[in-house]
Amino acid sequence: MSETSQQLFREVVLSNLDSAYRLARGLTGNSADADDVVQEACLRALKGIDGFAGGNAKAWLLTITRNAAFTFMARNRSRMLVLEGDQEEAGRALEDTPDPGATPEAGLIAKTDAAALEAALASLPQPFREIIILREYNDLSYKEIAEMTRLPIGTVMSRLARARGQLLRALAPEMAGRAAS
Amino acid sequence: MIETKFDAAWMLNAAADGELDAMSLASFERHCAGDPALAARYAQMRALRGAMRGASANLRAPDDLRARIAAMAAGESAAPQSDSVAAMRRRPRFPMAAAVALSLAAGGIAERLFSDFVSAKADRVAMLIIDDHRRAMLASSPIDVASDDRHTVKPWFDAKLALSPPVVDLAAKGYALAGGRADVVDGAAVPSLVYRLREHFISVTALPAARFSGIAARAEANGYAATAWRDGAFEYVAVSDLPRSDLEAFAAAFRAGAEAGEAR
């Protein structure tokens, strides 16, 4: 491997490694699987580094990481992954925004701990979880998410709205418990 | 044609995500002031965002993973040391790599089917671009980067899209450069230049010819006209509410300008 390629790999991959790890962690839901996914993604990135055309290095690495995560999950959790059509169906049941009376107050939400959030995230169907992870863990804009997932921007917005509505509902029982104690 | 759907939940999320332009945000905040339930939801959204970002900020690639990746770059063995706990639970690499290769191959086939589909539906791409132009006209600003200086617009595209078409200076012909915009067409982010003629805007979208080819030369919808041409690595589509003859005159001026090298 040439010196230039090594340098490029360091700039593109190592400097965005935390972002790739967050995506893998968010998609797989645990750190051991995230480790495997990131290592596989970096191997692929290393092989393809000379094809990197410049531009947005983070988006390039995240696209590879996303593909590696889906391959990984399809192999290791075939029973957990439902077909895309079924997931769309599952998502349709999610309302855009819940009644604010049925969900926790802003002050309580702000104090949610990471474990409770992670449990709530795990309750989301995959296509919805993915969008909110790309938004919050990776700080991508709506346009960047639409480009990476090849979804129309309206679908991105609708999935994000539904994902957040579901998260607020999922957090409600935990909040109620905390407020009572 | 794309159905454009706007509703309160989208607005709420877009406001919390900082995706609204200043005018829309101001109008949204005015609504919040007169609607406590909406204001409460907005506060919930912002709190949820804060909590998620706080949680994710603590997620960092573990040191041993970072070390293994760094070792890859240095050309050393990527395998972890055999006595580490990580190595014992790590699955064999080969099946995973094979699966990745397979899925890439499948992706390649899908890509080809997709591009066949696009060329069969040449009109569709032109329609999508007309829709992008319409949406941009509905927003408070039709451009993402406002500048009459091509030396500002081109680097912006470079940084944003890693793809930048020649920016032709047509001021002398009466077409002032208004700026640039990133559009998403069929899942690809593409650059659009925006010119102004009197009170009319003209969007010139540059599509990589490798992916988009054979776009319908002329299309019309909802009072907007589109004209397409191929030049080098790009398929260009110009859209405006100008009369067809004026739009064609613009396209001719753009092509002539590009040929004469009035582009950087």
Partners of residue B65 in chain A, C-beta under 8 Å:
17, 21, 35, 38-39
Q: Across-strand partners of B191?
A: B182
As for how many domains chain A has, the answer is: 2
For residue B202, the model assigns a pLDDT of 93
The ipTM value here is 0.85
Q: pLDDT tens per residue, chain A (181 residues)?
A: 677 888 888 888 999 999 999 999 999 988 899 999 999 999 999 888 887 877 889 999 999 999 999 888 887 765 444 444 444 445 555 555 555 566 778 888 888 888 888 889 988 888 899 999 999 999 999 999 999 999 999 899 999 999 999 999 888 876 666 666 5
Asked whether the CA dihedral B152, B155, B157, B163 is positive or negative, the reply is positive
pLDDT of residue B103: 56
pTM: 0.56
pLDDT at residue A135 in the model: 96
How far is it, in rounded angstroms, from Cα B134 to Cα B103?
37
- Do residues B52 and A117 make contact, with C-beta atoms less than 8 angstroms apart? yes
SS3 of chain B: helix, strand, coil, percent, to 5: 50, 20, 30
Residue B263's pLDDT is 56
Integer Cα distance of B27 and B45 in angstroms = 18
- How long a stretch of residues is chain A? 181
Same domain for A154 and A112: yes
Residue B67: closest CA among B50, B47, B55, B81: B81
How far apart, in whole angstroms, are the C-alpha atoms of residue B43 and residue A64? 35
Q: Do B51 and A112 lie within an 8 Å CB cutoff? A: yes
C-alpha span between A5 and B45 (Å, rounded): 43
pLDDT at res. A92:
52
**Location of structure tokens 């230049």:** B193
Provide the residue ranges of all domains of chain B, joining segments of one domain with +: 1-78, 91-116, 122-259
Q: B74 to chain A: nearest residue by CA?
A: A6
A94 and A167 in one domain? yes
| A25 neighbourhood in chain B, CB within 8 Å | 59
Quote the pLDDT of residue B203.
Answer: 93
Radius of gyration of chain A (CA): 18
Q: Which of A26, A47, A76 is the last residue of a domain?
A: A76
Which residues share a beta bridge with A177? none
| Domain limits for position A11 | 3-76
Residue type, B245: S
Tell me phi and psi for residue B128, to 5 degrees: -60, -40
How close B126 gets to chain A, by Cα (Å)?
16
Strands B176-185 and B188-197: antiparallel
Tell me the residue type at A140.
L
What percentage of chain A has pLDDT greater than the value 90?
41
- For an interface test with B, which of A25, A35, A124 has the most B Cβ atoms less than 10 Å from its Cβ? A35
So what's the architecture of B122-259 in CATH? 3-Layer(aba) Sandwich (3.40)
For chain B, list residues with pLDDT below 70: 1-7, 75-122, 139-141, 262-264
Helix boundaries (H) for A49-152: 57-76, 84-92, 106-110, 114-122, 126-136, 142-149
User: In the listed set A76, A93, A128, which residue is the last one of a domain according to the structure?
Assistant: A76
Q: What does the alpha-carbon distance between residue B13 and residue B46 come to, in Å, rounded to a whole number?
A: 9
pLDDT score of B2: 36
Q: What is the pLDDT of residue B115?
A: 47
Regarding whether A20 and A72 lie in a shared domain, the answer is yes
Q: What is the largest CA-CA distance in chain B?
A: 75
Give the tens place of pLDDT for each residue, B8-44. 788 899 999 999 999 989 999 999 999 998 899 999 9
